[in-house]
Structure formats: C-alpha cells, structure tokens
Structure 1
Amino acid sequence: MTTLNVALAQINVRKGEPRINWTHVQDVIAQATARGANMVVLPELWDAGMAYDRGREIASNLSGGLFAQVAALARQNNIFIFGSMYEKRGVGVYNTCAVFSPRAGVAGAYRKLHLFPLSNEDKWLNAGESPLAVDLPWGRTGFGICYDLRFPELFRRYAEDGAQVIILPASWPHPRLEHYRTLLRARAIENQCYMIAVNRTGTDADDGTQYFGHSCVIDPWGETALEVGEQEGLYTVTIDLDMIAEVRRKIPALQGRIL
C-alpha cells in the first residue's frame, strides 16, 4: 500500500449520551465507507465525552458492550476504526483507543498514559501502562490520546519502534489551538512520520467548554496535508506513504541521534 485514504470524523460529542453518539457514529462510518476510506478516526471519548463521573457506568470491556458493536461495524464495512472510549478493565476504568480491524476484531488497545489533571481526569480514570505500536496494512502505527501530545518522549519511542503513522484522538478546547497545531507539527518533524489528529468540536452544555475542532493530518516534512475548521463533518484525505522513507533518507535525523 503506497497511499492511504483517511477519514477524519470531527463530531460534536454529546456528553454522557452514549446512545446518541453511537447512532451518529454509525452514520459517519457508513459515509466513510462510501468514500472508499481505509480508516476512520474518531475523537477522544467519542462515546460519552468528559462524563468521567459516569465512566464506570458507561464503560465496557474490550470483548463486550460498545467495543463489540464497533468491532462488528468494522467487519461489516471493511474499514479500520480508531477513537477512544471508556474501557472497563478489572477494577479500573480507562480512556482507551482500540484498534478495530475489519478482519481481526480488536487487534490492540492503547490506554491513555498521561491523564489531564486540569479536568480531573486523573481522579476518575486509571492511567495506561505502556505505549502501543502495531503493524497494519499501511505500516507500523502508534497511538496517543489528547494530552499525550505534550510528551515528546512517547512519540520518539514510536519512531524508534519503526512507526510511520501516529493516530491521536483528541478533545482540545479553546484557547489552546496554537499549542495543538505547533505540537502536532513538531511531533511530525521530529519523528519524520504522519500525525493524524481528530479533535472534537461543539460546546458542552453543562460547563460551556468549547472544543475547536481543526482535525488535521501533518506529513513527515511538517507540512499540513489537511486541516479543517470548527464545523462538524467527515473529511477525507489521501496520503503518500512513500514520503516517509523519502524524508528519512534525505534528512537521516533518526539515525544521527547521540542521546
């Protein structure tokens, strides 16, 4: 596979309303399939938003509940699906981005390592224990979630592990748009990989938090392959996977590291 058709599902997540969000996501996946996308990426906690206090009630384990329904949807539509959800695991509840494969079902799960203290995420949820990079049809792929973007060592580890594409579901609010943009470009340039970030949009009714969208794909040169505005919608872009090897050959920074 030398090109990859990516669908970015920038949606307004209804806080604490998993049934409404699931109905919306099914429609979005159908649209992505109709457009010939190889993958669709959803925002962080697309199932219920920042309803941390209800996380245990909403969460399901990887083999059941909403996870099983998304896995079935991936099979039915022959499409990879990414985006984080509430996961119940043992006595804990996690912010988890599962790898939904059309053939293998749940082929991996990344649990958010860096929980966001400003929203008290760390008070309600459990932090993950390790990064996740998996081999997919387009190449090795790593994962982060939202606040993880501020921690460059995670993304460098993915580059050392051979990752060519990194997927980041997110819920970044105003006024931190320029932080988000700058950090995404930096991670792409530093690690000479594609960064695929899908950020939610809309406003939470209870506290008025406004999410700025601007889902985007940054290429290994640090150039913007696609960046959208704040409007809800499904956006698609085709990326050139051969560019990764080209950039790494022309500027062998990953090979030249001393520390």
Structure 2
Amino acid sequence: MSLFRGQGLTLAAVQTQIDPGRREENQARAAELLASAAGQGTDLACLPACFATGVNFPSIRKDATGLDGPVMDFLADQAQRHGMHIAAGVLLSEGRDIYDAAVLVGPAGDLLGLYRRASLWAGERDYLAAGEPLDAITTPLGRIGLQVSYDLRFPEASRRFLGQGVDVIVCVANLFADFSHHVRSLARARAADNATALVFSSCTGENRFVGMPYVGRSCIVDGLTEGVTADDADVLAEVPAGSREGVVTATLYPRQRRKAGAALPFRGDTAATWRTSYIWEGP
C-alpha cells in the first residue's frame, strides 16, 4: 500500500500447454502454474481459453462442462486455496449450446462473472454458439472486462469497456500461430483503445483436428503508458516467444491510474464523437 498510489494490483498471465481432451493432465499443469503465480503475490491470475480441454470439434460435446462441472470445481478450489481471483477460459455446455466462455472466480470460490465469446469465425459456427458483449465486472480489485480469443481482433468487442471505466481487460486465448503474427500488436492496440491494462493469457500445444499449433505469446500490456521513449514500454511483461509454459506478472496501482485516466480527454472525446449504444456505454 502506497500513500500516494494506493493499493497495488498484481496481475499474472499464465501460459499453459493444452492437450485436447486430457482434462486432468491439463488441470494438473495449470495448478502448478497457479501455485507459482500465487507465490509471486498475484491478486488476479489468468489462464488461457478452454485451458482444461482445448477445443476439439469432433469431441466438443463430450469435452464441454457445465457451471456445476469439474472444471468450475477446479477453479473454485484453486481460487480458495491461493486466496486470489482467477480468470479462465471454459468450454461451456448450456442445454444444446456450447460456448467458448471466460469466467471470473473470486477468492471464496464464487463465480463473479461469465462471458460467452461473441466473435466467431465462420468455421466455428457449426460447433459453437455466439454470446453477447458483456459489461465490465465490478470486483474488490476494480472493474474487470472479459474477452476470449478472436475478440482481440475486433476493436468493437472491447469498446464498451472504455465508457465503463474498466481497470483491466483479460483476454483468455487459444489462437492459431499461423494467423497470429500480429497478436502482440493487437493486445497493445486494445489496451490503448480503452486506456487500460490488458492481460493476454494464451496457450501452446496443437489443435489436432485442423493440424495447427497455438501461438502462446502471453503478455501484460498497459494502454495508459505515457512520457516514455522506448517503443515497447507499454509491454510490462511477456512470456518469451517459443516458450511452452510460463507465468509473468506485473503490478499496477488502480487508484493512481484512475486519476491519470480522468485527466485525459480521451473518454470524453470518444463519447462526443462515437455516441452509439454499442460502442459507448458511459454517461
């Protein structure tokens, strides 16, 4: 706790290797990395999309879990064990629909928020249902926005967060390496778009159905960085390219950042210029 900066918020981007359909093995790897994140004083640890199962279209219904299923039980147990918030991707079953979803679990093991991915590419629509944009989630850590994978490609998918004063955007991901050359730039752009921090937690491994590896490249970036000359000063931490697994952390000070953000004309200018119900949800 700093007299001038307020309480610190330590974020962790957790990168795991996913073996499709091997839930127990994937969860065991995630548990080890979450323990490492907790040992670094993490307040919010972020796991990749579908971290426990992967997305294998031929077995998607067998792999998907409900909100009362074993993947959610695992996340609740880990959050309670380490006394921290966890954001993670879950292949979610709801009735006849399957969603590529993100959940936010509190340190008491309670579900604080759920987002079903809205941005689907054409090849997924025979297997996955599309969700709707979600408002930022108010937590003791601040206001947190959830995104999943392909959402990162679309500024519109996170634009509502600017008007809602989000403190952190978490994008859980399992993006194909062949189409993800610009992923680092996209993470930086989405953070800058919304004048906030962004955690990009990605996986490695391979989607065997389409024969493509996942990109990794997990990172934490800061869209409020100002007054610096280094080209990548906004990249606070990142898992090195080519790494299979890892944990990187960064500490922010939300109270100080809110003051800095309020002093900028960006939010007001955006409201005046782009006043639509989809893009702008502020006053």
TM, length-normalised to structure 2: 0.84
Root-mean-square deviation (Å): 1.9
Number of residues of Structure 1 aligned to a counterpart in Structure 2? 257
Decide which of 185, 190, 193 is 1:182's aligned counterpart. Answer: 185
Preserved CA contact (<8 Å) 2:89 2:100: yes
Q: What is the rounded CA distance, in whole Å, between the counterparts of 1:103 and 1:80 in structure 2? A: 9
Distance in structure 1 (CA, Å) of the matches to 2:237 and 2:112: 27
2:95 paired with 1:63: no
Q: Does 1:254 align with 2:267?
A: yes
1:140-151 correspondence to structure 2 within 5 Å = 140-151=143-154
1:165 aligns with 2:168: yes
1:2·1:138 contact (CA, 8 Å) conserved in 2?
A: no
How big is each residue's C-alpha offset from its partner over 1:43-80, in whole Å with a ceiling of 9 and x where there is no partner? 11111112132221122211233212321221122111
Which of 118, 121, 126 matches 1:123? Answer: 126
SS of residue paired to 1:93: strand
- How big is the shift at 1:255? 0.7
Deviation at 1:22, TM superposition (A): 1.2
* Number of the residue aligned with 2:92: 87
TM-superposed deviation, 1:136: 1.5
Cα offset, 1:204, TM superposition: 4.1
Residue 174 of structure 1, CA deviation: 2.2
* Correspondence for 2:252: 239
Larger Rg: 2
Q: Deviations over 1:197-234 (max 9, x none)?
A: 01112344565412221111111236111122231212
1:217 alignment partner, SS class: strand
For residues 2 and 121 of structure 1, what CA distance do their matches in structure 2 show? 42
Match of 2:140 among 121, 134, 137: 137
1:225 counterpart residue number: 236
Contact 2:221 2:235 in 1 (8 A): yes
- Residue 11 in 1 paired to residue 24 in 2? no
Unaligned runs of 5+ in 2: 1-5, 226-233, 275-283
Q: Percent identity?
A: 28
Could you tell me the TM-score, scaled by structure 1's length? 0.91
CA shift at 1:113, angstroms? 0.7
In 2: Cα distance, 1:48 partner to 1:70 partner: 14
- Bigger mean CA deviation after superposition, 40-49 or 170-179: 170-179
How far apart, in 2, do the equivalents of 1:240 and 1:255 lie?
Answer: 23
